[in-house]
Amino acid sequence: MTSVVVIGGTGLIGSKVVERLVEHGHEAIAASPKSGVNTLTGEGLAEVLAGAQVVVDVSNSPSFEDKAALEFFTTSTGNLLAADTRAGVGHHVALSVVGTERLPESGYLRAKLAQEQLIRESGIPYSIVHATQFFEFVSSIADAATDGDTVRLSPALIQPIAADAVASTVARTAVGEPINGTIEIAGPEQFGLDELIRKGLSFRGDPRAVVADPRARYYGALLEERTLLPSADARILDPRFDDWLVQTAPQR
Ligand SMILES: NC(=O)c1ccc[n+]([C@@H]2O[C@H](COP(=O)([O-])OP(=O)(O)OC[C@H]3O[C@@H](n4cnc5c(N)ncnc54)[C@H](OP(=O)(O)O)[C@@H]3O)[C@@H](O)[C@H]2O)c1
């Protein structure tokens, strides 16, 4: 049995990681501001990390605005790594995004890259999981690109993945040996970004029109055709997007 603290354990990925760990007989503590643990202020960190063998960081910045995201990921990661060291944590696992290093125009991804650099330089054994965009993120992508009734998106390729598959990989990584490097995971299919969002919105009866525009920015960044795609050695994980849409549709 491994003792794991999941920072951001109440979030989309974090709550699933806690479930997976417990299902497999490990001890998992969900830590977040709601449970009195705040990585920005340091509140509750020493207490929750006492006795932990592994820390999983799947927290997220409440704001995606450039400065706020950078402040969140640098301050919270710095506090967390210092607390890991004091508590003698033997493995730090973090979730980041495929292509962080290729999208310097995006403030959010610059912040994720800064988080990764702090982890690499910390001296703590670590594993970083790079995932592509979650299926669950489709409505947020649409909302961020909406002007009136129109959603304007690049037709660049994207290979999204289900949050369940991401959480299973993060949980398995947490109870494995630190890799002191990065693994990449992605879903089984590629779509144009505009095509993916059109499919997702239309399945849910959302009337917004999705327009393909190669100059449309994705969270501040212009995309080349393959910028968001994983490398050839990424692990490919089911389900397919159409199957996921059906599985997660509200029952009537
Ligand atoms: N969205 C994507 O497509 C995608 C793709 C690849 C990687 N990722 C990465 O996946 C990670 C998890 O994303 P998610 O969608 O699961 O996040 P989420 O659902 O928004 O959950 C965020 C979590 O962070 C916690 N949190 C916020 N402020 C905190 C603080 N000051 N101290 C400690 N915890 C704090 C929240 O706690 P409360 O509930 O208490 O507020 C919550 O548990 C992120 O790091 C993101 O970069 C996302």
33 preceded by a cis bond (ω within 30 of 0) = no
pLDDT for the residue numbered 154: 97
- Find out whether the beta carbon of 137 lies less than 6 Å from any atom of ligand 1: yes
The mean pLDDT of the chain is 97
**72 CA to centre of ligand 1 in angstroms:** 11
Distance CA(160)–CA(131), nearest Å, equals 8
48 burial (CB, 10 Å; 0-12 / 13-18 / 19+) is: buried
Whether ligand 1 lies within 6 angstroms of the CB of 77 is answered as: no
Separation of 56 CA from ligand 1 center, angstroms? 12
* Whether the predicted pLDDT of 251 surpasses 90: no
Ligand 1 touching residue 12 (CB < 6 A): yes
Q: Is the CB of 85 under 6 A from ligand 1?
A: no
Residue-level pLDDT at 81: 98
Q: Which residues neighbour 28 within 8 Å (Cβ) at sequence distance 6 or greater?
A: 4, 5, 6, 9, 17, 18, 21, 22
For ligand 1, is residue 244 a contact (CB within 6 Å)?
A: no
Q: Supply the pLDDT for residue 252.
A: 64
Give the atom of ligand 1 at the shortest distance from the alpha carbon of 115.
45
What is the tens place of the pLDDT at every residue in 54-99? Answer: 999 999 999 999 999 999 999 999 999 999 999 999 999 999 999 9
The atom of ligand 1 lying closest to the CA of 9 is 43
Return the pLDDT at 139: 93
CB of 10 within 6 A of ligand 1: the answer is: yes
Q: 90-121 as b/e, with b when 16 or more CB fall inside 10 Å?
A: ebbbbbbbbbbebbeebbbbbbbbbbbebbee
Distance 155 CA to ligand 1 centre (A): 27
Q: Over 80: is that where the pLDDT of 22 sits?
A: yes
- Output the CA–CA distances (angstroms, integers) from residue 154 to 58, 72, 160, 192, 231, in the order listed: 28, 28, 15, 8, 20
> Which is higher by pLDDT, 103 or 184?
184
